[in-house]
Amino acid sequence: MQTTTSHIKQGGMVLVICLIMLLLLTLTGLAAMQGSALQEKMAGNSRDSEHAFLAAEATLRDGEDLLAASGAGLTFATDGSNGLYDKMASGATATDWRASGTVWRTASTISGIAETPRFYIERWPEIINKGKSLEADTPLETTIIYRVTASSVGQTGTSRAVLQSTFRR
């Protein structure tokens, strides 16, 4: 009787090839997991930025509502001590939303936001409305322009949205 000895000559090549294939599948799985984790972080940051934007927009409306309700009765100061800056005076303080010395007004509390949103209002010099009347004895109308700046963070506080609007009275 004759026996075959072909399995002795292979020397384990099937095992080596299977281990290489297993390594390639493992690397592919790790790359897919890293891509998924990155996409999850990007989606979270996008959601946080969107919450910051929506909160800043709601805060902007709070400032505009304050002007619409009591614009003439508000007390504006050159130093903005109450979050209302008067830009009509010659010694008016420069305002920058990034500066630590900027005085803000707090807005309505919004649930799910890391910090209370805030805003400040600047009153700019009056503008003459030219072309409204051609009569010589009619006085020209003036308009006061206000700029509302609102700032808010998102749910985690890592993203910030700052919005500005111009309001005319």
Tell me the per-residue pLDDT of 104-138, one tens digit each, with 9 for 90 and over.
Answer: 999 988 888 999 999 999 988 888 877 666 677 77
Whether 8 is in a domain gets the answer no
Report the share of the chain in percent with pLDDT over 70. Answer: 89
Domain-embedded: residue 71: yes
Share of the chain above pLDDT 90, in %: 44
Q: What's the domain count of the chain?
A: 1
In-domain check, residue 98:
yes
- Evaluate if residue 6 carries a pLDDT over 60: no
The reported pLDDT for the residue numbered 95 is 82
58 part of a folded domain: yes
The region of weakest confidence among 23-37, 78-92, 113-127 is 78-92
* Domain range for 106: 43-168
Distance CA 18, CA 113 (A): 53
Tokens read off for 152: 């808010």
pLDDT value of residue 132: 66
Q: Does residue 9 register a pLDDT over 70?
A: no
Task: Report the chain's mean pLDDT, rounded to a whole number.
Answer: 86
Report residue 155: phi and psi, to 5°.
-70, -30
Does some domain include residue 157? yes
